[in-house]
Amino acid sequence: MDLEKLILVTSRIFFLGAYVLLGFALIERIANAFGYTVLQGFRGGRLLEFAIVFLIFVIAIELREIREDFRKKT
């Protein structure tokens, strides 16, 4: 498995992970509105922070790919 495929898979996993964490945060927020909690260890805001960190890594990986494409064209 070459480096480009590994980067692509990592980017997709982080992107999917960010959406999963966003979903959990929304579910937790709705449950909290009704007085319940779904996740015992983490708050919804903390999950959003983790999702944002994953998305920052995805953006960094995508910018790296764009830079590599520009270098190949010149």
pLDDT tens sequence across 14-41: 999 999 999 999 998 898 889 888 887 7
pLDDT above 70 for 67? yes
**Token pair for residue 66?**
């764009």
Q: What is the dihedral of CA 46, 11, 27, 53, to 10 degrees?
A: 10
Number of domains into which the chain is organized:
1
Residue-range definition of the domain harbouring residue 14: 3-73
CB 53 within 8 A of CB 21: no
Lowest mean pLDDT among 8-12, 34-38, 40-44, 70-74: 40-44
